[in-house]
A = this chain, B = another copy of it.
Amino acid sequence: MDKIDVRTAPVIANDQVAPDMFLLRVQGAFPAKPGQFYMLRAWGINPPLSRPMSVFDRTDKLLSFLYAMQGQGTQLLARLLPGDKLVLFGPLGNGWNQQGDQIALVGGGSGIAPLFYTAKVFGKVDVYLGFHAKPFLLRTFEQVAKQLYVSSESGENGQKGLISNVFQPHGYDTCYACGPYAMLEALRHPCQNAGVPLFVSLEERMACGIGACLGCMVRTTQGLRRVCQDGPVFRAKDVIWDD
């Protein structure tokens, strides 16, 4: 595993790509596998906790995050200007392990964030993106997707409705999904019925980010697991969903 470290990196850009969605790029060579995340902060002791964010993209020169502006931490992130400093702790978590040839990545809402770098690294994967409102970053995703499927409530630039209705598991070797609980839920049965292994990236509130505080547990068939250290990626069938 790549060494986990805390680093301070200069912000290159922090662009608003949709209402309440920002693409934050920082300078530097950071190690990270698809599906891994960093704990981010750009403030002192308040709020006390850093914010977990998946790697949206990385190169030898930069690392980027796609995030939804919501509460106080992400509001502070959204204020960052080029030249400001971001503190990064990572890379954390297990990430996705490529398995099979025909791969589908399904993302909903801010859950589309980890899919770009994943598609880029895996290569030749179909990408399904579900948006609440107007879709964004489609050109960006087109560059790395074999096929790009898009849906939103309005149907703008794609189909109308939920991405879990658009996605059909048949023909895929594996499916990787990240998004709201309801979306993951909706993918489970189709994948199970089609015999397609489904891997999901989960979200829980995190304090330490490395498995020490036991704050981010998820119930699995193997017992309690730490989302930060044992996940965030789990096999859907291992997760106990009736929570």
Contact = CB atoms under 8 A, between A and B. Distances in A.
A1 interface: no
For the complex of A and B, 4 pairs with smallest distance between CB atoms: A46-B46, A45-B46, A81-B81, A44-B46
A45 B44 CA distance: 12
A140 interface: no
A72 B44 contact: yes
Interface of A: 44-46, 72, 81
5 contacts: A44-B46, A44-B72, A45-B46, A46-B46, A81-B81
Query: Copies of this chain, how many?
Result: 2
Nearest to A72: B44
Contacts of A46: 44-46
A72 B81 CA distance: 21
Contacts of A45: 46
A45 B46 CA distance: 8
Contacts of A72: 44
A44 B46 CA distance: 9
Contacts of A81: 81
Nearest to A83: B81
A70 to B, nearest CB: 16
A46 B46 CA distance: 7
A36 B117 CA distance: 56
A81 B80 CA distance: 11
Nearest to A79: B84
A96 to B, nearest CB: 37
A84 to B, nearest CB: 9
A45 B72 CA distance: 11
Nearest to A76: B44
A146 B81 CA distance: 44
A45 to B, nearest CB: 7
A44 B44 CA distance: 11
A81 B45 CA distance: 21
A35 to B, nearest CB: 33
A46 B44 CA distance: 9
A20 B144 CA distance: 49
A217 to B, nearest CB: 29
A51 to B, nearest CB: 16
A196 to B, nearest CB: 46
A81 B46 CA distance: 21
